[in-house]
Structure 1
Amino acid sequence: MATQRIELGLTASTPSGGGCGDGCGCGHTTAAATPTPSVSEGLYDSELRVEGMTCAHCVRAVTEELDALDGVEVAGIDLNVGGVSIVRIRSNGTAGDDELAAAIDEAGYALVR
C-alpha cells in the first residue's frame, strides 16, 4: 500500500505502478508531491481522516468541494490508496467542522471520526 502526497493544483503524472492505482478505473493519474505552504498568521489548520480515496480524481473531487466553502484557503491531501487519507485544510476559521465534513460527504467519501 503506497502513500502519496497530492497537493491542490498540481499537474498529473503517472505513478510508478501505472494508472491511478488500486483499480478504481477512473482513468486519471496521481499527481507529484510538493511541500505544504507554511501557516499564515490568522489562519487555522484542520486535519481530517477520509476513507475511500484511490487516485487524483478522488483528490480533485474532495478539494473542489472544500474550495467551494467560504474561508478555505488551501486543501492538501496525503493520499493513502486503499486506506485512510489525511486531508489538511488551511482556512480563516469561517468554515466549521460540520461544513468541512459535509463537503467531504458531498464529494462521496467517508470521514473517519
Structure 2
Amino acid sequence: MERAFDELKNLLKLRPIFHRTDKRVKVHVFVCYLALWTERLITEGSYSNKRLEELKSLKVPELNADNEVVWMRNETTHTQQKILESLGLQKPPKITLENPV
C-alpha cells in the first residue's frame, strides 16, 4: 500500500497535505485510492503511457462567478474521449457547482 501511495504521489507530483478533521482525512485517502485505481486502469495495455499523457491535459480549474465557486472542465479532445470510452468512463461534466475533488 505504501509503495502504491508513493507511486501515486510521484505520478501526480503531490506535496504533503495536512488535514485537521477525520472526515477530510478519510476523503483525501478515498480520492487518492480512486486516483491510483484510475491510473492503473489507464495504464493497462500496450499504449498505457501514451493514454496517461493524453489525459494529463484534462483540467477542472476553480472559477469565481457572481460570488459563487464553479468548476469548469476544459474541452476534451477526440482522443481523450476515445480513451474514456474504452475505460467505460463518462466525460466529466463541463460545469459543476460541487468540488470535483
| Short-chain TM bin | 0.3 to 0.5
Q: Which has the higher strand share?
A: 1
Q: Which has the larger radius of gyration?
A: 2
TM-score where L is the length of structure 2 = 0.34
TM-score where L is the length of structure 1 = 0.32
Q: Which has the higher helix share?
A: 2
